Structure 1
Amino acid sequence: MELIYRTIIVFLAGYVFLRMTGKKAVSQMHTFDLLYIFVLTNIISTPVEVNDLGKAIIYGAILVILYKILIRLSLNNKLRWIIYESPTVLIRNGDIDRTGLKKVRMPMNELLSHLRVQGYTDTQNIDLAVMEETGSISVIPKSEYRPIQPNDLNLKVKKEYVPIPLIMDGQIIYHNLKYLQLEQGWLMNEVEKTGEKVENIILATYLENGKLFIDNDVIKKHKGDPYYYNPGEDS
């Protein structure tokens, strides 16, 4: 029982510390972000094996404060380039920068792989490819190879509308109903019109036209249709 109790306390303490840290530390990580996670993980996991629960929580709190100080310092333009690494150019104007590849220790096949993931197959079509300080690679194609934008054709497009989830995994999202100033009775009435039950709905969203779109957990069969081919033995 003591082991279970200590594990729960350590887990909850770690969760609180990460929430205090904010989203940045667990999204795109810089070098000291990653170091922070490693050190904090080691500190909060120690009490599971040894009897140092109080000290671990204190050390963890100190580490959180130190990390928050570093984040604050990184907002200063002069200190930012000390704390963060500078971006490294890998391709410029279609030419591969071998010095940049050597600096980041990236083989050519890995660079080509990163380009393919972003939809580019020819390095000659790339205006600029940069490895950011987070380790991700940003790619800017040459103007003649970039996707056409509505502005290129002098077209006016309406503002993008993001469907708002009202039911997810069989559960009603009450705060979204409140945000839209809709009653639960309206939602249930819309669901009943389709003959579905809330617990069977994997996703229901509020559309721009004020209607409810429902995606249930039933997958339609398309036997023999090549457009619905499933790889593997289940096809």
Structure 2
Amino acid sequence: METFYRTFLVFAVGYLFLRITGKKAVAQMHTFDLLYILILTNIISTPVEVTNMGKAITYAGITVILYKIFIRLSLHNKLRWMLYESPTVLIHNGDIDRKGLKKVRMPMNELLSHLRVKGYTDIQSISIAVMEATGSISVIPKSDYRPVQPKDLNLHVKKEYIPIPLILDGQVVYHNLKYLQLDHSWLIGELEKRGEKIEEITLATYQDDGQLFIDNNEISGHQSDLYYYKPGRDN
């Protein structure tokens, strides 16, 4: 019982500290972001093996405070260049920057692999490719190779709309209903019109035309239809 209690407390404290830290530390990590996570996990896991729970939590709290101070300092431009690594150019105007590749210790086949993942097969079509401080690679194509935009064709498109989830995995998202100034009875009425039940719905979203899109657990059969082939043995 004591082992379960100590493990649960360590997990809860670690989760709380990461929430205090913010999303940035667990998203795209810089060098000291990663160092912070490694130190924090080592400190908060210590009580699972030893008995000094209070001291470990205190050390973890100090680590969180120091990290928050570093984040504050990084907001200043002069200090930011000291705390973060600068971006490294790998391709510029269709030419490979060999010094950049050498600096980040990246072989040519790995660079080509990163480019393929992003949908680029020809280096000559790339205006600039940069390895950011987080280790991710940003690629900007030349203007002749970028996707055509509606503005290029003088087209006027309607404002982008994000469908609002009202049911997720059989559970009603009440705060979205409140945002739309709708209530539970309205949702039930819409479902009854279609003969649907909440617990059987995987996803239901509110569309920009006021209609409800529903994706339930039923999969329509399309036997022998070439356009509905699924890899594996479930056909």
2:228 counterpart of 1:228: yes
Alignment match, 1:135: 135
Instruction: Normalising by structure 1, report the TM-score.
Output: 0.98
Count of aligned pairs between the two proteins: 235
| Structure 1 unaligned blocks of 5 or more | none
2:161 counterpart of 1:161: yes
Deviations 1:134-191 (A, max 9, x none): 0000000000000011111122211101000000000000000011110110000111
Alignment match, 1:191: 191
SS in 2 for 1:143: coil
Cα drift, residue 233 of structure 1: 2.9
Aligned AA for 1:199?
E
Alignment match, 1:30: 30
Cα drift, residue 232 of structure 1: 2.5
Alignment match, 1:45: 45
Aligned AA for 1:156?
H
Aligned AA for 1:134?
T
2:125 counterpart of 1:125: yes
Q: Matches of residues 35-74 of structure 1 in structure 2 within 5 Å? A: 35-74=35-74
Alignment partners' CA distance in 2, 1:62 and 1:177:
41
Aligned AA for 2:68?
K
Alignment match, 1:219: 219
Aligned AA for 1:160?
E
Alignment partners' CA distance in 2, 1:58 and 1:95:
52
Could you say what the CA RMSD is over the residues aligned between the two structures, in angstroms? Answer: 0.8
Alignment partners' CA distance in 1, 2:142 and 2:194:
49
Alignment partners' CA distance in 1, 2:221 and 2:44:
49
Alignment partners' CA distance in 2, 1:222 and 1:105:
50
Alignment partners' CA distance in 2, 1:91 and 1:16:
42
Alignment partners' CA distance in 1, 2:88 and 2:176:
43
Aligned AA for 1:67?
Y
Alignment match, 2:11: 11
Cα drift, residue 225 of structure 1: 1.6
Aligned AA for 2:45?
S
Cα drift, residue 37 of structure 1: 0.7
Instruction: Give the ranges of 4+ consecutive aligned residues of structure 1 lying more than 6 Å apart after TM superposition.
Output: none
Aligned AA for 2:132?
E
Deviations 1:49-87 (A, max 9, x none): 111211111011100000000000000000001100000
SS in 1 for 2:151: helix
Instruction: Normalising by structure 2, report the TM-score.
Output: 0.98
What fraction of aligned residue pairs are identical, expressed as a percent? 74
Alignment partners' CA distance in 2, 1:219 and 1:32:
47
Alignment partners' CA distance in 2, 1:156 and 1:189:
36
Alignment partners' CA distance in 1, 2:105 and 2:231:
36
Alignment match, 2:208: 208
Alignment match, 2:84: 84
SS in 2 for 1:129: strand
| Structure 2 unaligned blocks of 5 or more | none
Deviations 1:110-133 (A, max 9, x none): 111111111111111000000000
Alignment partners' CA distance in 2, 1:233 and 1:170:
28
Alignment partners' CA distance in 1, 2:137 and 2:10:
36
